[in-house]
A and B are shown apart, each in its own frame.
Chain A
Amino acid sequence: MFARVFVRFAALVLAVLAANLAYAGDPDPKDWPSVLAEAQGQTVYWYAWGGAENINDYISWVGERVKADYGVNLEQVKVSETASVVTRVLSEKQAGRTDGGAVDLVWINGENFKAMKDAGLLLSSPWSTDLPNHALTDFENKPVLGRDFTEPVDGLESPWGTAQFTFYYDSASLPEPPRTLDALQGYIHAHPGRFTYAAPPNFIGTTFLKQVLLGLVDDRSVLSRPVGQADFDAVTAPLWAWLADVTPDLWRSGALYAADTTQLKTLLADDEIDIAMTFNPGEASSAIADGTLPDTVRSFVLDYGSIGNAHFVAIPFDANAKAGAMVVANFLLSPEAQARKADESIWGDPTVLAYQKLDAGGKALFDALPRGAATLGPDQSGAVLNEPDSSWTDALEAEWARRFGAAR
């Protein structure tokens, strides 16, 4: 008996020691010069959604810059679903890996962040708040930078951009878009086959479900608590009813959905649908700039506001090039990188920096940014709705799959 207790105790001591040893080996962003030194020559594999050409181009520009400035080699690993990255790191953990993992940096938010955090798949000590450029972020005024889908960030991921759920349409063929849920419902019935969304679990599809749900529930506060504390069926019943009502008049009668935001854009460009949706408020202007969409395209949001969130980058616990990954994350927060990202001719993704914290040079970069005709101004973009608690994501996706995921 005593022997068993002793063995357990010894194992515990060893585990703690091992954890501390591992911890001691991780780069510490408070000592930034040594992080820079360690990062020199490292290759960072950044697993990032690769469905959009302009974002890939932007990432490859980041690669050139971190190579030139810090000697870090950046390789984008283009993924179609971030959940697969979570699985990847989880498999490595289950296979007993503690270092040398495939993933150094991952573009992430929401339920995937929570999944990695809960499973201990992230770098265990807070690091993002100690990045030199973190001081420039607007964490005081943008609560989405501190809580990712209600989950505290806790310094385990570093903000990259913000997003707001936005619709866009061609004003040449649709003079006045439907700005309420009822109007949208009516529009779908009046124009069969001209509206669709992306199939969950694609993030834009899942967000559409949440957006509709937020417009239909009486008490939005239930959504900010874990789904387990709510009567899921009762809360979501109006959503399923709404979807069931419009589905027969969706594009392809709901037998097929778009794959992601890029396909929605293509469908609008092909004039297969009348209204597309995106998480990037600059998407329409950006697409006009590169010739994908006609210059008559405009954006709109629903009258009750639209979901806003932030997206981040995180470092897995077993990352091979942690210092390099931190250098990349810090560079992403530089005024130069943020201003370029916000440029609609490049990408158009809103910044996470606070304008007033920037120096004159930084401010000038943002002042020089034009705002495209298809981008909503601050007065037009309406109220920002908070993401529901991340636990709702899986529940909504599973229920959607059950009801609509096996059409016919």
Chain B
Amino acid sequence: MRLKRNGPAVSEPPAKVTAKATGAPPIYLRFFSWSAIALVFVPALAGTVYMFPMAFGGEGGWLQPFATLFGVPGIWTSILLSLWIGLVATAFSVALTSLFFAAFAQTRAVSVLSGLIRPLLAIPHAAAAFGMLFLVAPSGFLMRLVAPLLGFQHPPDWLLVNDPAGLSLAAGLALKETPFLFFVVLAALPQIDRRLTITAATLGYGRIWGFLLSAFPALYVQIRLPIIAVIAYSTSSVDMAMILGPQLPPVLSVQIPRLMNDPDLSLRMAASAGAIVQLAITALAIGVWLLGERMAISAFRSLSTRGFRLRGDGALRSAILVVSAWTFLVTYLGLGLLLLWSVAASWRFPDLFPSHFTLDGWLSPGSDLISLVWRSVALGIASALIAMIMAVGALELEYRRGRPIAGGGWLSLYLPLLLPQIVFVSGLSFLFLSLGWDANIFAVAAVHLVFVFPYVYLTLAASWHHFDRRYLDIARSLGKPPFMALVEVRLPILLAPLLTACALGFAVSIAQYLPTLLIGAGRLPTLTTEAVALSSGGNRRLIGVYALLQALLPFIAFALAGLGPRFVWRNRLALSGPVREISGRSA
């Protein structure tokens, strides 16, 4: 393009200079460029890789561990159970979430339910599982409710939990994964063009069918990766499966640690082989899902052009609302039961409430609450803070370079969410043992970071990228170097998202069972490991105490994260007011 000159002419010939206005990032920042790789990718991969030599070898030839594994009674049932439970739980969660949004997108129901669900995200799987156990077991609260009607004098001999088909485990997983997917959809929804559904409505389509036809395909693409993470988790969960899962035989992810705990070396090698099979099962489940996806798409296509309108979907919508609300309420009821059990001295069937109360569970020295809470909190705070500092460093570097973190960084963040924990955490524990790094709290914190960092980073990245960078431009033009612009402008304005990311990191750390147990050699028990260890026993009072505290700590963290900005910025309405402009994108 040519210029139109309107100013005074200049005589000197122009010097040819090429310059990059933003200087190269300082060295201390480059330290963060590989942080995702170093913190997340390397441990996850190293742990996985370390399992292979252990799985292939031994005195009986390189396939001997697999032969031993397949000789374990019921192992094929375990494998099929893992596959089936993972797929059923995921399918239920995806179906319920999709139908809910199809029926209620852009209505009050979404905002009401999202307020109800938000706290559920912070509840560790183990606490949710125990709550469900206390609710639906034959001696549970629901049965006590109906016992007078059905004339039960004692709990019926029904397989309601730990059923051999794993339905109770699938239900428990769905209970936790549905809120997760709910929020994933909630975050993705604004990117879907509303006019699509309106167009469908004007063409006479019922609400649900119209949404599924018009908006769902684009939405599904957005939530696909989280769904795959749900499959990975559901096919390989350990803590929830120990509490709610079948026992004779258990799912593969529970059978592996059992074999691993056996002094018999050949069984321990079989456990490593089991970890490889677990990897294959998770991959297979994801493959089956993707195949099902294809079939669903073609079925969907042929259905969508036939002109069904499904106008009268009112009853279906009510049904969806009831099921969704129940899915979320169950967890809350469960929390209430945890509280009741934690103070119950005597609670006989079919009494609705305990007949005597005691604080023994909270006060007795053997429950060791102070050191458990202290260790859980210390691990949570340490890993959340380190993760936050690393995430801020990495994001600042991205901002200054104007491009995302080092190659593959994005995928490496998802790796710990896609790989079964039992595989790479077991591998890491062997690796750490041979290096003499095990059983110390730093090693445990480092492995917590593998899970904490991705969540903190991904949460923070959203707010980071939404931040109006003109604030920084102004700060710089006022004479502040980049570091001061970060510290004096960006970080204070982003206080709320920083604290939220921290709270999420804390919640993720609190919920870690397997890393804490395996890397800590059991010597560094937390509320989570103690609660899950009790799942084998039946001490419901202690389970109530541990699981309730386990659920409470993340709650407190999120509450503090919510109150923090309100207190610190109480005189700054833009940052503490009801309509908080956390992104700083003020008009």
Give residues in A with beta carbon < 8 Å to B.
Answer: 45, 47, 50-61, 64, 75-81, 83-84, 86-88, 90-92, 95-97, 100, 102, 112, 115, 119, 192-194, 199, 251-253, 255-260, 262-267, 269-272, 290-292, 294, 401-402, 404-408
Given contacts A60-B366, A102-B438, A260-B537, contact A84 B261 (CB under 8 A): yes
User: In the complex, given contacts A61-B365, A95-B433, what are 9 additional A-B residue pairs having Cβ atoms less than 8 angstroms apart?
Assistant: A53-B541, A60-B365, A60-B366, A84-B261, A102-B523, A259-B538, A267-B538, A269-B348, A405-B73
- A265, B157: Cβ atoms under 8 Å? no
Q: How far is the CB of A92 from chain B (nearest CB, A)?
A: 7
What's the minimum C-beta distance from B92 to chain A, rounded to whole angstroms?
A: 23
Query: How many whole Å from A284's CB to the nearest CB in chain B?
Result: 15
On whether the beta carbons of B538 and A262 are closer than 8 Å, the reply is yes
Let me know if A270 and B268 touch, CB within 8 A: no
Residue of A nearest to B368 (CB): A60
A251 and B248 contacting across the interface, CB-CB below 8 Å: no
- Of A96, A97, A115, A405, the residue contacting B263 (CB under 8 A) is A115
- Alpha-carbon separation in the docked complex, A84 to B28 (Å): 44
**CB–CB A88/B521 < 8 A:** yes
A53–B358 CB distance below 8 A: no
CA distance A405 to B367 in the complex (A): 32
CB distance from A195 to the nearest CB of B (A): 11
The segment out of B329-337, B498-506, B528-536 that lies at the interface is: B528-536
Q: Could you list 6 examples of A-B contacts with CB < 8 Å?
A: A64-B365, A100-B436, A102-B523, A255-B248, A259-B538, A406-B77
Say how far B163's CB is from chain A's closest CB, in angstroms.
Answer: 8
Q: Which residue of chain A has its CB nearest to the CB of B72?
A: A401
Min Cβ gap B537→A in Å is: 4
| B248/A407 in contact, CB under 8 A | yes
**Are the C-beta atoms of A56 and B263 separated by less than 8 Å?**
no
- Chain B residues near A91 (CB-CB < 8 A): 430, 433
B515 within 8 A of A: no
Binding site for A on B (CB under 8 A): 73-74, 77, 138-139, 153-155, 157, 159, 162-164, 247-249, 260-263, 265, 268, 345-346, 348-349, 356, 358, 360-361, 364-368, 430, 433-434, 436, 438-439, 521-523, 525, 530, 533-542
Which residue of the partner chain, among B73, B155, B263, B525, contacts A77 with CB atoms under 8 Å? B525
Residues of A within 8 A of B154 (CB): 270-272
Known contacts A52-B537, A87-B262, A272-B157; A256/B433 CB under 8 A: no
Pick the contact of B538 from A47, A75, A265 — CB < 8 Å? A265
CB contact between A199 and one of B247, B521, B523, B542 (< 8 Å): that residue: B247
**A405 contacts which chain B residues (CB < 8 A)?**
73-74, 248-249
Given contact pairs A87-B268, A406-B77, A81 touches B364 in the complex (Cβ within 8 A)? no
Q: How far is the CA of A366 from the CA of B540 in the complex (A)?
A: 32
Query: Which residue of chain B is the closest to A58 with respect to CB atoms?
Result: B366
Identify A119's interface contact among B138, B263, B534, B540, CB under 8 A: B263
Q: Which of B249, B263, B346, B530 contacts A86 (CB 8 A)?
A: B263
A269 to chain B: which residues have CB within 8 Å? 348
Grouping DSSP codes into helix (H, G, I), strand (E, B) and loop, the A interface class, with mixed when no group exceeds half, is: mixed
- Check A45 against B523 for contact (C-beta < 8 Å): yes
**Contacting pair A291 B358 (CB below 8 A):** yes
Inter-chain CA distance A265–B260, complex, in Å, is 29
Distance of B430 from chain A, by nearest CB (Å): 8
A402 touching B73, Cβ below 8 Å: yes
A404-B438 in contact (CB<8A)? no
- Alpha-carbon gap, A263 to B533, bound state (A): 13
User: Contact at A266–B540, with CB atoms within 8 Å?
Assistant: yes
When distances are taken between beta carbons in the complex, the residues of chain B under 8 Å from A87 are 260-263, 268
Q: Is the CB of A92 within 8 A of B433?
A: yes
Chain B residues positioned under 8 Å from A262 (CB to CB): 537-539
B346–A270 touching, CB < 8 Å: no
Rounded to whole angstroms, the CA-CA distance of A60 and B371 in the bound complex is: 12
B263 touches A53 (CB 8 A): no
Chain A residues within an 8 Å CB radius of B157:
192-194, 251-253, 272
- B residues less than 8 Å from A95 (CB atoms): 433-434, 436
| Assembled-state Cα–Cα distance A192/B263 (Å) | 37
Which residues of B sit under 8 angstroms from A90, Cβ to Cβ?
263, 265
Complex: A55 Cα to B159 Cα, angstroms = 31
Residues from chain B with Cβ under 8 Å of A75 in the complex: 523
Does A52 lie within 8 Å of B539, measured CB to CB? yes
Q: Give B344's nearest chain A residue, CB to CB.
A: A291
Roughly how many angstroms separate A117 CA and B365 CA in the complex, as a whole number?
Answer: 33
Q: In the complex, which residues of chain B have a beta carbon less than 8 angstroms from the beta carbon of A81?
A: 261
**Distance to closest chain B CB from A150 (angstroms):** 19
Name the CB-closest residue of B to A271: B154
Question: Bound state CA distance, A177 and B77, in angstroms?
Answer: 38
| Cβ distance A7 to chain B, nearest Cβ, rounded Å | 25
Determine if A291 and B346 form an interchain contact, defined as CB atoms under 8 angstroms apart: yes
Q: Could you tell me if B530 and A78 are in contact, using CB atoms closer than 8 angstroms?
A: yes
- Using CB atoms, name the residue of chain A closest to B140: A270
Q: How far is the CA of A56 from the CA of B349 in the complex (A)?
A: 27
